[in-house]
């Protein structure tokens, strides 16, 4: 019986086209086994090629069949047993076309690509911008050491994203009444009049009070195909509406006065108010209702009402009165109300006889038994006692430099932060503080914009599919239609994305700003609420700040206090 052929007798040769490796066998020799062929192949010069076990098994079966048919034959047979393959390159480009990756499958006995080959491939694929030469060189340096058939992904090119556009800006061209420099006037005899703080700047119809610097685009970008990515200017924010001003008919970036009066700061816009100056508000004047700003040199007496569209400035005391302002309220002294339950108390609040409401800020030296609403912040210099704050942006009682200012009793609902000198008292009077009223509103707005953005992205994907279909059909009218539609949807999606990012940042900033700061002493018994969290302060503390985290209320000392 013939013995099996030895591995030394097995001969492998490359085909003329250099694509395959063949096993050369004579019919006069014994049939080798698969194991012996594999062993000999691994020791041959072609060991890096792709061994084809499936072909070897077919070849062995064919070889044995031929020997059985012609036992004495001496023909030389050639059988394909392996493939010699060069490395393959596959390009992957991100959906935004800002990144291109190259997936390289290393060669089986063939050639791995060098730098020149890779660059030529990228050029053929249309990749022009941001070629990553270092990544390519690093791959080429290690290519010869890679296992045959191994895959590696390298960053082949990087585009440059367009920078965000620059939002519009607003600047005042006049000095608002609240920001004027307060300097007591010197009389002719050399004495100083502390109540006369100088002239107030006024404007006339047509005077420019505010200017808008339009939004503008920033640096353009480019994708890996060399196509430009244009920076988009954010939408211009319209001037907020206010009394006594309008957008100039000659220049949409200018806000002009429509009447003579005093420029007043009102959040992010300027309004022009007429000002009514009174010595006092009492039974001789009756209730005051005025379209503009009121300055009261004296007091506002018990039972009187002052309702204005502008600001209210009171240099003396406000008793159990009602102040309603479309702007700010400033009381030099304090506001003293009473807690009653009788039927004759004003319907706004059945507990307090003093009611103060402002669309802007409220400031006073002290407040007691007062019902309060503010669109802006509330600042109390000395004492806030048993009051009801329905809403405000921020509540400040004293602050870091006035640590003896007190907040005792009452209920306070605040959108952002509270800062107080002394919170509570040694008699443990209960007070309730609700923080972060704007959080729920912002979350709802963010979710709504997010859903709209997803709808725009879905529409963009559907239109892109339609565009490709009509491009294939050669329907130019449809191609033009969908090209314009896609451009419009992209612009709309970009605007919604900008709104989403702006509101998300506002939400993050708000959560960071929500806090309760006590700069002096904090007594037990204070209830603090933020969303679903509700906590009661249980111990006496000094100079500390409370913030809500996912785990609940967290207290930390205030450094340097």
User: pLDDT tens digits for 507-555?
Assistant: 887 778 788 999 999 999 999 988 777 889 989 999 999 987 777 778 8
pLDDT for 345: 39
Q: Is 31:6 a contact under the CB 8 Å cutoff? A: no
Query: How far is Cα 42 from Cα 52, in angstroms, rounded to an integer?
Result: 12
Sign of the C-alpha dihedral computed for residues 218, 219, 222 and 226 taken in this order: positive
Binning pLDDT at 50, 70 and 90, where does residue 320 land?
Answer: very high
> Is residue 349 predicted with pLDDT exceeding 70?
no
Q: Which element (helix H / strand E) includes 312?
A: strand 312-314
251-294 pLDDT per residue, tens:
999 999 998 777 878 767 888 877 777 889 888 878 888 777 89
pLDDT at 285 (0 to 100): 77
Q: Is pLDDT above 60 for 166?
A: yes
**Is 352 a residue whose pLDDT tops 50?**
yes
| Contact (Cβ atoms closer than 8 angstroms) between residue 514 and residue 393 | no
Mean pLDDT of 44-70: 88
- Radius of gyration, CA atoms only, the chain: 41
Q: What per-residue confidence (pLDDT) applies to 178?
A: 67
Residue 197: pLDDT above 50?
Answer: no
3-class DSSP state for residue 499?
helix
pLDDT at residue 199 tops 70: no
pLDDT in tens, 80-92: 989 898 899 999 9
CA 427 – CA 283 distance, rounded (Å): 40
pLDDT at 228 over 50: yes
What single DSSP character describes residue 144? G
pLDDT tens for each residue of 144-159 = 888 888 899 999 999 9
- DSSP string of 377-399? EEEEEEEEEEEEEEE-SEEEESB
pLDDT-derived band of residue 196, with 50, 70 and 90 as boundaries? very low
pLDDT tops 80 at residue 108: yes
Q: Is the pLDDT of residue 133 over 50?
A: yes
Q: What angle do CA 541, 545, 547 make, to 5 degrees?
A: 125
Predicted local distance difference test score (pLDDT) of residue 473: 87
Give percent of the chain above pLDDT 70.
93
Alpha-carbon span 452 to 129, nearest angstrom: 33
Say how far apart CA 394 and CA 510 lie, in whole Å. 12
Name the one residue in this structure whose structure tokens are 């296992």. 147
Per-residue pLDDT tens for 28-42? 888 898 888 888 888
Q: With a cut of 80, say whether residue 460 has pLDDT above it.
A: yes
């Amino acid at each position: 019986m013939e013995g099996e052929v030895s591995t030394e007798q097995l001969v492998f040769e490359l085909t003329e086209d250099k694509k395959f490796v063949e096993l050369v066998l004579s019919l006069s020799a014994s049939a080798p086994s698969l194991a012996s062929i594999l062993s000999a192949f691994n020791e041959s010069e072609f060991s890096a090629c792709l061994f084809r076990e499936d072909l070897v098994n077919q070849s062995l079966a064919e070889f044995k069949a031929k020997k059985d048919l012609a036992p004495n034959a001496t023909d030389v047979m050639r059988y394909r047993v392996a493939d010699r393959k060069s490395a393959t390159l596959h390009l992957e480009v991100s959906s935004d076309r800002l990144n291109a990756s190259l997936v390289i499958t290393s060669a089986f006995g063939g050639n791995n690509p060098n730098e020149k080959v890779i660059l030529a491939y990228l050029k053929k694929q249309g990749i022009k911008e941001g070629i990553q030469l270092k990544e390519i060189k690093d791959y080429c340096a290690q290519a010869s050491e890679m296992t045959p058939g191994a895959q590696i992904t390298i960053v082949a090119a990087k585009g440059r994203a367009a920078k965000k556009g620059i939002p519009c800006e607003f600047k005042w061209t006049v000095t608002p009444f609240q920001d004027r420099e307060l300097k007591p006037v010197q009389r002719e005899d050399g004495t100083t009049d502390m109540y006369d703080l100088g002239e107030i700047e006024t404007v006339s119809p047509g005077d420019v009070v505010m200017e808008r610097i339009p939004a503008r685009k920033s640096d353009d970008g480019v994708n890996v195909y060399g196509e430009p990515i244009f920076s988009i200017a954010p939408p211009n924010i319209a001037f907020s509406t206010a009394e006594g001003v309008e957008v100039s008919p000659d220049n949409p970036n200018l806000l002009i006065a429509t009447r003579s009066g005093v420029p007043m700061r009102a959040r992010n816009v300027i309004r022009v108010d007429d000002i009514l100056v009174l010595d006092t508000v009492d039974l001789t004047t009756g209730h005051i209702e005025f379209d503009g700003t009121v300055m009261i040199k004296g007091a506002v007496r018990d039972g009187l009402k002052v309702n204005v569209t502008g600001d209210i400035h009171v240099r003396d005391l406000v008793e159990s009165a009602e102040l309603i302002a479309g702007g700010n309220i400033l009381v030099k002294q304090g506001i003293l109300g009473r807690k009653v339950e009788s039927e004759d108390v004003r319907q706004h609040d059945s507990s307090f006889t003093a009611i103060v409401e402002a669309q802007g800020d409220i400031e006073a030296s002290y407040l007691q038994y007062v019902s309060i609403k503010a669109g802006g912040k509330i600042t109390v210099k000395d004492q806030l006692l048993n009051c009801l704050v329905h809403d405000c942006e921020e509540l400040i009682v004293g602050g870091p430099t006035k640590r003896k200012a007190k907040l005792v009793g009452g209920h306070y609902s605040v959108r952002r932060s509270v800062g107080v000198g002394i919170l509570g008292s040694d008699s443990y009077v209960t007070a309730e503080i609700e923080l972060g009223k704007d959080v729920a509103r912002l979350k709802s707005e963010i979710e709504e914009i997010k859903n709209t953005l997803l709808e725009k992205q879905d529409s963009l994907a559907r239109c892109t599919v339609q565009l490709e279909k009509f491009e294939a059909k050669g329907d130019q009218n449809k191609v033009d239609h969908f090209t314009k539609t896609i451009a419009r949807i992209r612009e709309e999606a970009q605007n919604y994305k900008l709104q989403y990012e702006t509101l998300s940042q506002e939400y993050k900033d708000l959560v960071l700003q929500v806090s309760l700061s006590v700069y002096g002493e904090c007594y037990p018994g204070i209830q603090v609420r933020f969303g679903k969290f509700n906590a009661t302060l249980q111990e006496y503390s000094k100079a500390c700040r409370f913030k809500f985290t996912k785990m609940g209320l967290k207290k930390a000392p205030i450094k340097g206090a």
